[in-house]
Chains A and B, each alone.
Chain A
Amino acid sequence: MREIFVALFCGFLFGVGLLLSGMTLPQKVIGFLDVFGAWDPTLVFVMVGAIGVNGLAYVFIRRRQGPVVASTFHLPPKRPVDGKLLCGAALFGVGWALAGYCPGPALVSLASLQGDVTVFVIFMAAGIWVHNRLFPI
């Protein structure tokens, strides 16, 4: 039960972070990708803040035998770089550039009840569902 509250709190904090950083604004994301136009560096600062805090915390977390409440760490297994990783990242890059949303900011923005982002999330869910059908976990 404690894990559920922690997940709710972390989701909330994560969402507020995305909102505060300006990442729910597609023009800031597309602006970051627009290196040959009016470049917007905000996303770099978001990444520096996020990786700075999380990376520093990870140095300490990795020394632990396990997490505080759950029984084990669920970290992805170490695997080599492969074609699926590269193709997937490339397809994601195209979609990211077309709309200016990645999954986090899109879900956060659902709360704004705007038509565009609602359509985006519905089709994002469809993309995930199709993937999970083609490549069962």
Chain B
Amino acid sequence: MPTPWLFGLLGGALIGGAAAILLLINGRVSGISGIFSGVLSPKRGDFAWRLVFVAGLIIGGALGFVFYPEAYHSTVERPLPIIALAGFLVGFGTRLGGGCTSGHGVCGISRFSLRSLVATVTFIGVGMLAVFILSLFVHGR
């Protein structure tokens, strides 16, 4: 992929723009784990926009699948039980911590929220430590 940093910056700008529009028009924070949680544990009158937002994410993904398949050329191979454990930890952890990379990392830090800053530093720090420990046992990634 040419100039990944430029793609990163552009993609990031789209993410930030989408989050800004959702807040400006609908008054909602673009925290993906929170939005998805509201789909799984629905509350009356607070369900449809969440379902449709998640559908939008997947439609965007499907568009990429057709026009930009490189975006799915994963080189990470993990045993399925590890993938399952990772998924469970991400789901449980993001809800316990009240947000993920989008809700805390993008939206929260944009609002100068101390909680979001602390959460972001924590999950990045622990993630770096985990990758380091993992690299002692597994060669390559």
Which residues of A does B touch, CB under 8 Å? Answer: 2-4, 6-28, 30-31, 33-37, 40-55, 57-58, 61-62, 64, 66-76, 78-81, 84-104, 106-112, 114-116, 119-132, 135, 137
Q: Are A98 and B89 in contact (CB under 8 A)?
A: yes
* B window 28-80: CB within 8 A of A: 28-30, 32-33, 36-37, 40-41, 43, 48-50, 52-65, 68, 71-76, 78, 80
Chain A residues with CB under 8 A of B74: 25-27, 100, 114, 116
What is the total of A-B residue contacts with beta carbons within 8 Å?
Answer: 487
Which residues of B does A touch, CB under 8 Å? Answer: 1, 4-30, 32-33, 36-37, 40-41, 43, 48-50, 52-65, 68, 71-76, 78, 80, 82-98, 100-102, 104-111, 113-115, 118-120, 122-132, 134-135, 141
Most buried by B among A61, A76, A80, A126: A76
Q: Are B75 and A27 in contact (CB under 8 A)?
A: yes
Chain B residues with CB under 8 A of A109: 61, 72
Chain A residues with CB under 8 A of B16: 17, 49-55, 57
Measured in the bound complex, the distance between the Cα atoms of B36 and A44 in whole Å is 25
Find A19's partner among B68, B94, B135 (CB 8 Å cutoff): B68
Chain B residues with CB under 8 A of A120: 83-84, 86-87, 90
With A101-B90, A129-B40 as contacts: A14 and B7 at CB distance below 8 Å: no
Q: Are A98 and B124 in contact (CB under 8 A)?
A: no
The A contact surface, by secondary structure, is helix
Q: Are B111 and A4 in contact (CB under 8 A)?
A: no
Chain B residues with CB under 8 A of A70: 25-28
